[in-house]
Amino acid sequence: MKDTQTKGKPKLLIIGHGRHGKDTIAEMITELMGLQFTSSSLFVAKEVIWDFWGKDRYPTFEAMYDDRSNNRKLWADLISAYNTPDKTRTASTMLGRGYDMYVGMRKKDELNACLEAKIFDHIIWVDACKRLPKEDKSSMDLTDTHADIFIDNNEPLETTVKSILELQKKLHEEGFSVNYTEVFAEPEKTELTWFDKPKDALTLLDHGFIAVKEVMGSDKAIAESARMSYGRGTKSVNTDEGLINYLVKNHHTSPLEMGEIRFHMRLPIFVMRQLVRHRTANLNEYSGRYSEMIRLFYVPENDQICAQDKINKQGSAEPLDPMVAESVRAVIAQAANHAFDIYEAMLVTGVSRETARMILPLNTYTEVVWKCDISNLIKLLRLRDDSHAQYEIRVYARVMAEAVERFFPLVYAAYMRQRESVSLTQDQIASLIRGEVVDGLSKSESKVVKDLLEAD
């Protein structure tokens, strides 16, 4: 391996048409490689243009500099005059003051003089011609043929970042000091271990899991808490089963809150958003502000890609044609990968994790520790372990229900008995007697009647 410290920092010239992103690329290189830059416009403006021309026409230096695009040819001529007779004056003075990059050279005679003097190690062309107009030849007579390195700035962002990373690697291999091993050395990058799951976890969906981590209380503890209402000396007049049935049926929730289950889950963010609607739980979720989001996202199977339900506006109907569903799966995966490409590219350029995460899709996986008392857990199950709930959250709710059944069997049996019972209005009873749905019933009431009639 070459000694990365023998040559010091490289001297780079960045050229390209106006507004094609030269300064932006220079800023990215500064962030990644620890180099310093200034532009020919800014440097010469401070040296001579403000005193010689600007201060008689503008109220401030900043106003003059911001207006330079409206006087591009004039500025090019003033910079050219500054470089007469010494065509290397801007470059040599700039680099002599500690800068590593010269951004914005526009004249061939200046470039040729710098090449002859061997001032630069590399010349970089920044190109955005596919999305932005070229600069007029009157102010810019250099082209991409004058550069030995090409950086594509035509979008997407990850293409630009890849070019900069390749530049960093090239400079490192040539012996320059560019923070390669300190900031981004691909061979040494370690893979995050977030893909692993706990040994006792049950795999759900494609990359999700759920595991019971802790249980507090029992059916007996719940029953004993309920009997406190009678006083310490009162005998148990009901069995635990009968008492718990009474609690669940009559919605006496306080004793049921004496039992708790703590889960550890990995689930898609859109499922987490449905789960967190049940605000009575205690939770701690993976933070995309403190830690990097992992490229792990949910892609539904073909039979879960369904048409929009025409009656239930928030639900799905029948599965789509398998060929259509497969194409939808491909689009979902492509979109998620593209979002992660941009996310990871932004992190490399120095964008904060809390900002970069904004573009990630709702099918990105997150992790959460979720603790809920049994009273509120059976309320959650009544809504989420139901055919009307979205498939993905039903998968998690089903496992939660199995945990309640395992650790609190009497509560679960009472919950199911109450859940499966049917309460009917007078109009519903009249409909059943007549054998048809009477007018005035709501959609949900009509559905109950139809289901009962069909069951007969």
Does 105 lie in the same domain as 165? Answer: yes
Residue 111 has pLDDT above 60, yes or no: yes
Residue 419 has pLDDT above 90, yes or no: no
Q: Is 181 helix (H, G, I), strand (E, B) or coil?
A: helix
In this structure, is residue 146 part of a structural domain? yes
The DSSP secondary-structure symbol of 38 reads E
Give the per-residue pLDDT at 113: 94
Does 114 lie in the same domain as 49? Answer: yes
Does 112 lie in the same domain as 16? Answer: yes
Given 188, 212, 244, the domain boundary residue is 188
Does 46 lie in the same domain as 134? Answer: yes
Does 117 lie in the same domain as 16? Answer: yes
Does 151 lie in the same domain as 279? Answer: no
In this structure, is residue 67 part of a structural domain? yes
pLDDT tens digit string along 246-255? 899 888 889 9
In this structure, is residue 323 part of a structural domain? no
Does 145 lie in the same domain as 89? Answer: yes
Does 287 lie in the same domain as 390? Answer: yes
Distance CA 104, CA 407 (A): 71
**Does this model's pTM top 0.75?**
no
Domain CATH number, residue 237: 3.30.1360.170
Q: How many domains does the chain have?
A: 3
Give the per-residue pLDDT at 422: 65
In this structure, is residue 325 part of a structural domain? no
Confidence of residue 193 (pLDDT cuts 50, 70, 90): low
Among 287-296, 403-412, 442-451, name the one with the lowest average pLDDT.
442-451
Does 145 lie in the same domain as 110? Answer: yes
Does 121 lie in the same domain as 245? Answer: no
Please state, rounded to an integer, the average pLDDT across all residues of the chain: 85
Mean pLDDT of 419-425: 75
Distance CA 349, CA 360 (A): 17
Given 164, 188, 212, the domain boundary residue is 188
In this structure, is residue 331 part of a structural domain? no
Residue of 362 and 453 predicted with greater confidence: 362
**Domain limits at 170?**
12-188
Residue 22 has pLDDT above 50, yes or no: yes
pLDDT tens digit string along 342-359? 998 888 888 999 999 999
Report how far apart, in Å, the C-alpha atoms of 425 and of each of 141, 378, 420, 422 are.
Answer: 85, 24, 16, 10
Give the per-residue pLDDT at 237: 52
In this structure, is residue 117 part of a structural domain? yes
In this structure, is residue 280 part of a structural domain? yes
> Which residues touch 77 (CB under 8 Å, ≥6 apart)?
none
Give the tokens for residue 104.
Answer: 């914005």
Residue 326 has pLDDT above 70, yes or no: yes
Given 188, 223, 241, the domain boundary residue is 188
Distance CA 441, CA 430 (A): 11
Active site residues: 384
In this structure, is residue 348 part of a structural domain? no
Does 136 lie in the same domain as 266? Answer: no
Mean pLDDT of 227-246: 70
Residue of 373 and 187 predicted with greater confidence: 373
pLDDT tens digit string along 117-150? 999 999 999 998 888 888 888 778 899 999 999 9
Does 435 lie in the same domain as 413? Answer: no
Distance CA 96, CA 115 (A): 16
- Beta 101-103 vs 37-39: how paired, if at all? parallel
Mean pLDDT of 437-447: 75
